[in-house]
């Protein structure tokens, strides 16, 4: 993949790749949201991407995001911030306060904690259920077999689940896993699909992703 030297060029290149993949799949590129994953990068690295017009960002740790995003949001109030990493139930209040979307709902105890957090505030981040799509022992996400029950739990708690999220197993062809997530979303009436990272976001777009999570291709390699 080609990436430009300056952040604005990298952003243009990623948008162009998304548009091309969308076109090949007969999709409207406007239906795909690029989430710039800025984890490990500081405000100095993030500002050029904001200056280039980008507004949707993602982080994988609540505490790290609390350190840099309140200040950046003050500079640019229309930032939309997504949590893409695991969330501990005791950080649910903090996550709801800071993030506009949470991609890592993966167990009923977290559904319960989020429902409780929602009762204390008007904020309603958009929720995605993370599915352990490769059935990997060590990986986060709800087991495929447990998905319908978790979605029921969320509905019973008045939490709207807007989408499904996955991270396919490393070193495997990702398309079948993306296709499986798309099938699960369709079967369960969940409209959004968060899938695809720097190495495979074009494939994800071809498979129906509505949200791609791209870090390295925008910010360079993490130190
Ligand atoms: C880090 C991360 C990404 C971005 O990964 P890149 O390969 O750098 O694009 C996407 N999703 C999640 C959940 C991540 O933790």
Give a three-class secondary structure readout of the chain: CCCCCCHHHHHHHHHHHHHHHHHHCCCCHHHCEEEEECCCCCHHHHHHHHHCCCCEEEECCHHHHHHHHHHHHHHCCCCEEEECCCCCHHHHHHHHHHCCEEEEECCHHHHHHHHHHHHCCCCCCEEEEEECCCCCCCCCCECHHHHHHHHHHHHHCCCCEEEEECCCCCCCCCHHHHHHHHHHHHHCCCCEEECCCCCCHHHHHHCCCCEEEECHHHHCCCC
pLDDT for residue 222: 84
Average pLDDT, the chain: 96
Which of the listed CATH numbers 3.30.360.10, 1.10.150.20, 3.40.50.170, 3.20.20.10 matches domain 3-219? 3.20.20.10
pLDDT tens digit sequence for 39-68: 999 999 999 999 999 999 999 999 999 999
**With 80 as the cut, is the pLDDT of residue 5 above it?**
no
Residue 167 Cα: closest atom of ligand 1: 13
pLDDT category at 1 given cuts 50, 70, 90 is: very low
Residue 39 Cα: closest atom of ligand 1: 1
pLDDT for residue 157: 97
- Could you tell me the pTM of the whole model? 0.97
pLDDT category at 124 given cuts 50, 70, 90 is: very high
Query: Ligand 1 pocket: which residues have CB below 6 Å?
Result: 37, 39, 60, 84-85, 167, 197-198, 213-217
- Closest residue CA from atom 11 of ligand 1: 213
pLDDT for residue 3: 46
**With 60 as the cut, is the pLDDT of residue 4 above it?**
no
- Across 135-153, average pLDDT: 96
- Residue 43 Cα to ligand 1 middle (Å): 18
What are the residue boundaries of the structural domains of the chain, listed by start? 3-219
């Amino acid at each position: 993949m080609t990436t430009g030297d300056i952040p604005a060029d990298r952003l243009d290149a990623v948008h162009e790749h998304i548009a091309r993949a969308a076109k090949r799949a007969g999709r409207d590129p406007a239906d795909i949201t690029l989430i710039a994953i800025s984890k490990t990068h500081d405000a100095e690295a993030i500002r050029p991407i904001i200056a280039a017009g980008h507004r949707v960002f993602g982080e994988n740790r609540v505490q790290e995001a609390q350190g840099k995003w309140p200040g950046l949001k003050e500079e640019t109030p229309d930032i939309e911030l997504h949590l893409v990493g695991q969330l501990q139930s005791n950080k649910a209040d903090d996550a709801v306060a800071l993030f506009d979307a949470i991609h890592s709902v993966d167990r009923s105890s977290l559904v319960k904690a989020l429902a409780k957090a929602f009762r204390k505030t008007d904020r309603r981040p958009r929720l995605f259920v993370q599915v352990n799509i490769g059935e990997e022992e060590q990986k986060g996400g709800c087991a495929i077999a447990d998905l319908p029950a978790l979605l029921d739990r969320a509905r019973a708690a008045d939490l709207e689940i807007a989408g499904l999220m996955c991270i396919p197993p490393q070193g495997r062809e990702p398309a079948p896993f993306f296709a499986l997530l798309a099938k699960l979303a369709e079967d369960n009436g969940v409209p959004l699909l968060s899938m695809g990272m720097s190495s495979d976001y074009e494939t994800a777009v071809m498979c129906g992703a509505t949200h791609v999570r791209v870090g390295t291709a925008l910010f360079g390699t993490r130190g």
